[in-house]
A and B are shown apart, each in its own frame.
Chain A
């Protein structure tokens, strides 16, 4: 059974710092991996999607990498801002069962203070 874990569970940093959020998964037979941001009362916003054949994706100050063989992904946030404060979730889509369901990680709660 696929299990997705995120470290750290919570993170509090001053504005301007570069951050690394970690995601690990137990079964490397994934089709893609997504990073989401969750703000209170606003559902989830997709940040980056990495297909299993890709090694990384970039969007603005965000960069996500994927090492499928080792079961790891990292989300790098450059020059953090208070507006980045949210919970970050990674999710994998498995390729074995031919279904579209996402298996979510436990989340990292980020607080960036001025």
Chain B
């Protein structure tokens, strides 16, 4: 079946603008994760959604970052007032097994460049 999809694949924006990144998880997967991969920091966790539970937002780097997941499926990561240090590849993953045992399946990522 279809894997995790993300859009756009590339996004170039000017400093100070807001951006929205979209993730479509694998159908039926209840867990969804956002990660960020940047040159200086490697791959780091941002936020985790599991079903109807409150999301784990512990990885969000600042209050300019927010995410929502509508209807338990599609998720949107929003970055307000973008800064150059926000430039990175943003990866989304989903898992069918909640809890601590499931393989996470990753999307191709969105490359964000803030000028």
List, in ascending order, chain B residues with CB within 8 A of A85's CB.
none
Q: Which of A62-70, A75-83, A95-103 contacts B (4 or more CB under 8 A)?
A: A95-103
User: What's the interface size class on B, roughly?
Assistant: 20 to 34
Partner of A102, one of B9, B45, B101, B109: B45
What is the predominant secondary structure among interface residues of chain A facing chain B?
strand
The answer to whether A51 and B101 have CB atoms under 8 Å apart is yes
**Measured CA separation A46–B103 after assembly (Å):** 7
Provide the bound-state CA to CA distance between A92 and B107, in Å: 19
Interface residue? B96 (CB, 8 A): no
Q: Which positions in B face A, CB cutoff 8 Å? A: 4, 9, 31, 33, 35, 42-45, 48, 50, 56, 58-59, 91, 93, 95, 98-109
Contact B100–A107 (Cβ < 8 Å): no
Instruction: Say whether A93 faces chain B, with CB atoms less than 8 Å apart.
Output: yes
Hey, which chain A residues are within 8 Å of B102, CB to CB?
A: 100
